[in-house]
């Protein structure tokens, strides 16, 4: 196993040849110097990239900041694989995968080589929200959501809510089912019924607490929807925590500078925010109370907390980007919560240790500001470019062309093509102790591969029979006793000879 980082730059905002020559995107390991993939002519606006995954058959979507196009890259191919036209130029993109559903008759399925996610969401400069179904290319939603451009789009892990943040300082929480349910009122009216339905759709919750544009959003993955929290950052220097189900604001953190990026610890222990002056501040969500000896939560009940700008001991401040005075535009954190990956406006990307606040790795510098970072844990066998399954997906498996007209409200006109993998059959007669032992051995090897982040696997082999271990021990003890006695006698002879030699020297 290896933790792999995908990063891409924004490119030159001025139309020049330098953008086409020096715009790159890379897939590299954060624990070693290995670089798995590189992509040419790759650039996008801030938060204008989304990725289905890292590995063979996966896709990377980037929106062109100057043209109404979406560029599609395939894993294993450096150049652009597809150029898909869209109604207007987009600012941000977001992928939503199929929701996990459980059935009574549970079946295991083989993982298909090519996977198409469920929905592709895009936000335009005019404030419109677009949602396409990637498997068919149908346009399910066109909604005038914000008064100004949409800066970022995120969805909850349960696929219930869709959150959009805009330059109009508003953050809107949408019910995803309301946006894409175009087949609810079918009166043979074609697209008009779909438009009328979308006009009636209102946000589940409109958050207008900020005064400047929203820069980043984050949601905690949870199995219980009542525990769903929303974290927002804004250029007004605030980080706010909201409870979506109760529609209440829990905490407001006031930072000394404008907040450009935000990420959350995997265990909800702290927040990490990138500031416009190049600093990264750590905001602890739990603190130890010395009076009660209890770890208590920070904030709640709409509490306002001011983060001190002075930190001479660097207890909660990262200063890797402060030398260049570049805003920290992107942040992400490793799976175990020990490493922080940050990218700034000068194209620098660093991996910092959270405990010591020191830089442990720096990536290949890009010539333009960082637009997007994503970190995933992938098997090294999947990432091996020498395997034959990297280019297994041919031209007929390309992403369908995205429609520019709203899909019909008649479900009979909805045509969908999907790969259904064959189920994995398990023979009940083969369930024996031997198979269980082999399963344990397989899990042991997988654990070793996960712990060992290099390409060298080290194992310890025991040679000999366990039944004769006691006799071997007695033989070894007797041999050791004979060797020690011989060594003692030899040392005594050596000391006597040394004394005789000293006497001879004194006589002379």
Share of the chain above pLDDT 70, in %: 81
Angle at 442 between CA 441 and CA 447, to 5 degrees: 95
Q: What is the pLDDT of residues 227-255, one digit of tens each?
A: 899 999 999 999 999 999 999 999 999 99
Closest CA to 416 of 101, 136, 164: 136
How far apart, in whole angstroms, are the C-alpha atoms of residue 8 and residue 38?
Answer: 10
Contact 382, 56 (CB under 8 A): yes
Q: Is residue 89 part of a domain?
A: yes
Q: Is residue 485 part of a domain?
A: no
Q: Is residue 107 part of a domain?
A: no
Q: What is the pLDDT of residue 117?
A: 79
CA 359 from chain center: how many Å? Answer: 20
Integer CA distances (angstroms), 295 to 192, 337, 495, in order: 56, 19, 67
Half-sphere exposure of 373 (CA within 13 A, CB side): 32
How far apart, in whole angstroms, are the C-alpha atoms of residue 380 and residue 368?
Answer: 29
Q: Which residues, at least 6 apart from 482, have a Cβ–Cβ distance to it below 8 Å? A: none
Q: Is residue 461 part of a domain?
A: no
Tokens of 476: 């070894």
Residue 316: CB atoms within 10 Å? 16
Q: E-strand spans in 54-105?
A: 59-63, 69-74, 82-85, 90-96
Between these two residues, 170 and 117, which has the higher pLDDT value?
A: 170
Greatest pairwise CA separation for the chain in angstroms: 127
Helix (H) and strand (E) counts in the chain: 6, 31
Q: Is residue 38 part of a domain?
A: yes
Q: Is residue 211 part of a domain?
A: yes
Contact 457, 449 (CB under 8 A): yes
Q: What does pLDDT average to over the chain?
A: 82
Q: Is residue 463 part of a domain?
A: no
pLDDT at 103 over 80: no
Tokens of 321: 């980007």
Return the top range by mean pLDDT from 100-109, 424-433, 493-502: 493-502
Domain range for residue 19?
Answer: 2-100+112-183+199-387+396-413
Lowest mean pLDDT among 219-228, 331-340, 405-414: 405-414
Between these two residues, 452 and 272, which has the higher pLDDT value?
A: 272
User: Total domain count for the chain?
Assistant: 1
Tokens of 368: 């333009």
How far apart, in whole angstroms, are the C-alpha atoms of residue 109 and residue 423?
Answer: 4
Residue 142, SS3? strand
Q: What is the mean pLDDT of residues 58-62?
A: 91
Contact 406, 195 (CB under 8 A): yes
Q: E-strand spans in 298-393?
A: 303-306, 317-318, 328-333, 339-344, 349-353, 359-362, 370-378
pLDDT band at 65 (very low <50, low <70, confident <90, very high): confident
Q: Domain containing 286 — which CATH number?
A: 2.130.10.10
Contact 409, 369 (CB under 8 A): no
Write phi, then psi, for 341 (nearest 5 degrees): -105, 130
Q: E-strand spans in 270-346?
A: 270-275, 280-284, 286-289, 294-297, 303-306, 317-318, 328-333, 339-344
The secondary structure of residue 63, as a DSSP letter, is E
pLDDT band at 388 (very low <50, low <70, confident <90, very high): very low
Share of the chain above pLDDT 90, in %: 39
Strand partners, 121: 94, 131
Q: 280-284 and 317-318 as β-strands: parallel, antiparallel, unpaired?
A: antiparallel
Lowest mean pLDDT among 303-307, 388-392, 402-406, 442-446: 388-392
pLDDT at 272 over 90: yes
Q: What is the pLDDT of residue 261?
A: 94
Place of tokens 């469920």: 118
Q: What is the pLDDT of residue 381?
A: 73
Q: Is residue 458 part of a domain?
A: no
Helical spans, DSSP H, in 41-131? none
């Amino acid at each position: 196993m290896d933790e792999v980082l995908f990063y891409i730059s924004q490119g030159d905002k001025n139309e020049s040849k330098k953008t086409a020559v020096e715009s790159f995107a890379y897939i590299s390991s954060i624990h070693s110097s290995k670089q798995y993939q590189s992509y040419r002519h790759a650039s996008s606006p801030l938060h204008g990239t989304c990725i289905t995954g890292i590995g063979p058959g996966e896709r990377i979507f980037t929106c062109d900041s100057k043209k109404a196009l979406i560029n599609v890259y395939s894993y294993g191919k450096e150049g652009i694989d597809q150029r898909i036209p869209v109604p207007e130029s987009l600012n941000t993109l977001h992928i939503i995968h199929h929701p996990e559903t459980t059935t009574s008759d549970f079946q295991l399925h083989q993982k298909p080589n090519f996977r198409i996610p469920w929905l592709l969401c895009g936000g335009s400069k005019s404030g419109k929200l677009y949602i396409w179904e990637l498997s068919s290319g149908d346009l399910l939603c066109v909604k005038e959501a914000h008064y100004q451009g949409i800066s970022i789009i995120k969805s909850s892990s349960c696929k219930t809510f869709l959150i959009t943040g805009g330059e109009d300082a508003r953050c809107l929480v949408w019910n995803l089912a309301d946006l894409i349910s175009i087949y609810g009122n079918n009166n043979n009216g074609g697209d008009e019924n779909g438009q009328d339905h979308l006009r009636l759709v209102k946000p589940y919750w409109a958050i207008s607490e900020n005064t400047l544009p929203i820069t980043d959003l984050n949601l905690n993955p949870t199995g219980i929807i009542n525990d769903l929290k929303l974290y927002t950052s804004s250029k007004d220097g605030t980080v706010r925590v909201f409870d979506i189900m109760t529609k209440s604001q829990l905490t407001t953190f006031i930072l000394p500078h404008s907040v450009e990026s935000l990420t959350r610890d995997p265990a909800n222990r702290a927040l990490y925010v990138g500031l416009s002056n190049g600093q990264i501040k750590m905001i602890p969500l739990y603190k130890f109370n010395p009076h009660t000896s209890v770890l208590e939560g920070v904030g709640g009940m709409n509490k306002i907390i001011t983060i001190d700008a002075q930190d001479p001991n660097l207890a909660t401040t990262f200063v890797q980007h402060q030398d260049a005075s570049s805003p920290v535009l992107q942040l992400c954190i490793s799976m175990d919560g020990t490493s922080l990956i940050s990218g700034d406006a000068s194209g620098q990307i660093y991996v910092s240790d959270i405990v010591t606040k020191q830089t442990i790795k720096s990536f290949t510098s890009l010539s333009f500001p960082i637009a997007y970072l994503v970190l995933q844990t992938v098997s090294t066998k999947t990432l091996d470019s020498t395997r034959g399954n990297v280019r297994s997906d041919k031209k007929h498996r390309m992403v369908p062309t995205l429609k520019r007209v709203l899909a019909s409200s008649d479900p009979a006109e909805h045509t969908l093509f999907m790969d259904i993998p064959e189920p994995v059959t398990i023979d009940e007669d083969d369930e024996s102790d031997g198979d269980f032992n082999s399963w344990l051995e397989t899990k042991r090897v997988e654990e070793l591969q996960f712990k060992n982040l290099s390409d060298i696997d080290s194992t310890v082999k025991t040679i000999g029979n366990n039944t004769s271990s006691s006799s071997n021990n007695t033989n070894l003890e007797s041999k050791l006793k004979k060797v020690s006695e011989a060594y003692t006698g030899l040392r005594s002879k050596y000391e006597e000879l040394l004394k005789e030699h000293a006497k001879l020297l004194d006589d002379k």
